[in-house]
Amino acid sequence: MPETREERDGVSEKVSKSESEWKEKLTPEQYRVLREQGTEPAFSGALWDSKTTGTYHCAACEQALFRSEKKFESQSGWPSFYQPIGEANVVTEPDRSRGMVRTEVTCARCGSHLGHVFEDGPPPTGLRYCMNSLAMTLDADDAD
């Protein structure tokens, strides 16, 4: 029986795959971003300026991550959100790579790299979850 949207929006059971299994599932570009902590060029992703209402999911494991109502135009060239669907759906940790100090955001279900979170977002959180389009899929809400 297929999952309902409500079941998908909660925290799902952990997903563990070998890197060769991830390479089979993901495109080379997705693998570079999700599994090798890459970043797509600004303004290049399919979702950065999407206005579609729906739920953004991890492209690797389909974990629900963000709702479109929490998305905002950050002028950064990447999809930006001020809040995840649930705090337990994403994991944040310090990232000191590339000579910078940032906070990396990963999927709580499969550990895939999604992007970074910064403290320059809008109210009410003041956060900007700056995500890679390649790291997510968008499940559009059904038209009423």
pLDDT at residue 5 tops 50: no
pTM of the model: 0.89
Residue 6's pLDDT band (boundaries 50, 70, 90)? very low
Tell me, what's the pLDDT at 35?
97
What would the pLDDT profile of 13-72 be if each residue is shown by its tens digit?
899 899 999 999 999 999 999 999 999 999 999 999 999 999 999 999 999 999 999 999
pLDDT at residue 10 tops 80: no
Tell me, what's the pLDDT at 13?
84
Q: Residues 11-15: contacts with CB within 8 Å, 24+ apart?
A: 11/63, 11/86, 11/88, 11/89, 11/108, 11/109, 12/61, 12/62, 12/63, 12/109, 13/109, 14/109, 14/110, 15/60, 15/61, 15/63, 15/109, 15/110
Residues annotated catalytic, as ranges: 130
What would the pLDDT profile of 71-127 be if each residue is shown by its tens digit?
999 999 999 999 999 999 999 999 888 788 899 999 999 999 999 999 999 999 999
Give the domain ranges of the chain: 42-140
Which architecture does CATH list for 42-140?
A: Beta Complex (2.170)
